[in-house]
Amino acid sequence: MKKPKVVIMGLGYIGLPTGAVIADKGISVRGVDVQTLVVETINQGRIHIVEPDLAALVKKVVQQGCLKAYTTPAPADVFMIAVPTPFKGSHEPDITYVEQAAQHMTPFLEPGNLILIESTSPVGTTRIIQKQIEQARPELQNKLHFAYCPERVLPGKILQELRSNPRIIGGITEEDAQKAKEFYALFVDGELFTTNDHTAEMCKLVENSYRDVNIAFANELSMICQSIDVDVMELIHFANKHPRVSILQPGCGVGGHCIAVDPWFLVHQFPTQANMIHQARKTNDTKPQWVLSQVDESIRSFQQTHHRSPQIACLGLSFKPNIDDLRESPALHIATSIHQKYPKVVAVEPNLTLPCVQSIPLRSLEEALKEADIFVVLVAHTPFQTISYPPHAIVLDYTHQCRAR
């Protein structure tokens, strides 16, 4: 495939890094986002999210003229959809943003164009978009190529994994899959596998459901161990000495727009079959409430001993270490719940520069260490790994980097 013109719909945590990686190959990329501030920020060579090395790459490709941001699409060879797919109602997948992105693209489509969907989607979404576009532009029926290729990157390592991870590419037809494979080969070094669209859509949901089930096992263990005064991390360390056992690390819950969300797509679409997947979701979704009960117990004990309310510092709000992403974050939910119940609560989130988040005041780590009586460690950010807490402090560490004391 010659260097194509590319339009990317959505310049968030996936769309912007993907666009920058493509543009770094000298390919013309037009990024499209509905938020004017996002568009203006990118065109200044800056970024609106936190991701290692992304700022330098975006600055480079914008200065080279390979990446430009707009609020509207334009004619191109490849159109990629990388917009959110949130819930509606009771964990029902909402593909409205995907449909709207396709609607905005449709007037600019031409015969031979390749339409790619990277947004996490229920099985069948690619064909829904094909039908939507062909109904609006019947003259393009059988003249476009449609494929689904799920992103599978880890926040904090997105640029590296966009380039190196294997990709599963599912086309509605075999020709569609091959066209998409030729495109991804321009910027992906990892192995490219082709299949049909339903399998590719299912693969993304299965990958994250598998991880969710395994995390649920670790989280369940942590709650059991707390009740019998067993160090869960020591237990996991010894259990993992078995050659066929590899238990994951528990935490305060599961967040992000993948593992905390994707299993519900399967539960909603296959309610009578996805029983284990559903139970894992319930286990991980209830872990924050368990953490809150532990925090409540510590606060009550402090009040009885000191005859006053403690100053509480929640360390970490993002859904995983060393990023600013708050989507579906159990840490944010826990901190917010504590703040609603107790008056003296601050948060430390080194990846954010806001004065507060959901009315929780943000403080520096140094300020919190001077003021707080109880530290609730929720995210294993690097600055939290070597803290010397005050001698009087009560430390509840739910990252399991060390035992609570």
Domain residue extents for the chain: 6-190, 224-397
The pLDDT, as a whole number, for residue 404 is: 37
Tell me whether residue 371 is exposed, middle or buried, using C-beta atoms within 10 angstroms of its C-beta: 0 to 12, 13 to 18, 19 or more.
middle
Residues 6+ positions from 189 with CB-CB distance below 8 Å: 163, 164
Q: What is the 3-state secondary structure (H, E, C) of the chain?
A: CCCCCEEEECCCCCHHHHHHHHHCCCCCEEEECCCHHHHHHHHCCCCCCCCCCHHHHHHHHHHCCCEEEECCCCCCCEEEECCCCCEECCCEECCHHHHHHHHHHHHHCCCCCEEEECCCCCCCHHHHHHHHHHHHCHHHCCCCEEEECCCCCCCCCHHHHHHHCCEEEEECCHHHHHHHHHHHCCCCCCCEEEEEHHHHHHHHHHHHHHHHHHHHHHHHHHHHHHHCCCCHHHHHHHHCCCCCCCCCCCCCCCCCCCCCCHHHHHHHHCCCCCHHHHHHHHHHHHHHHHHHHHHHHHHHHHHHHHCCCCCEEEECCCCCCCCCCCCCCHHHHHHHHHHHHCCCEEEECCCCCCCEECCEEECCHHHHHHHCCEEEECCCCHHHCCCCCCCCCEEEECCCCCCCC
The pLDDT, as a whole number, for residue 349 is: 97
Q: Give the bridge partners for 30, in sequence order.
A: 7, 68
Place of tokens 């599978």: 152
CATH of domain 224-397: 3.40.50.720
The pLDDT, as a whole number, for residue 196 is: 98
Fold match between domain 6-190 and domain 224-397: yes
The C-alpha atoms of residue 330 and residue 219 are separated, in whole angstroms, by 13
The pLDDT, as a whole number, for residue 405 is: 34
Give the predicted TM-score (pTM) of the model.
0.89
The pLDDT, as a whole number, for residue 402 is: 40
Of 204, 252, 314, 320, the catalytic one is 204
Active site residue 66: no
Active site residue 282: no
CATH of 6-190, picked from 1.10.10.10, 3.10.450.50, 1.20.140.160, 3.40.50.720, is 3.40.50.720
The C-alpha atoms of residue 207 and residue 165 are separated, in whole angstroms, by 14
The pLDDT, as a whole number, for residue 343 is: 84
Of 66, 149, 252, 258, the catalytic one is 258
Per-block mean pLDDT, blocks of 10 residues, the chain (405 long): 93 97 98 98 95 96 98 98 90 95 98 97 97 98 97 91 97 98 98 98 96 97 95 96 96 90 95 97 96 96 95 96 90 97 94 90 96 97 94 91 40
The pLDDT, as a whole number, for residue 223 is: 95
The pLDDT, as a whole number, for residue 283 is: 97
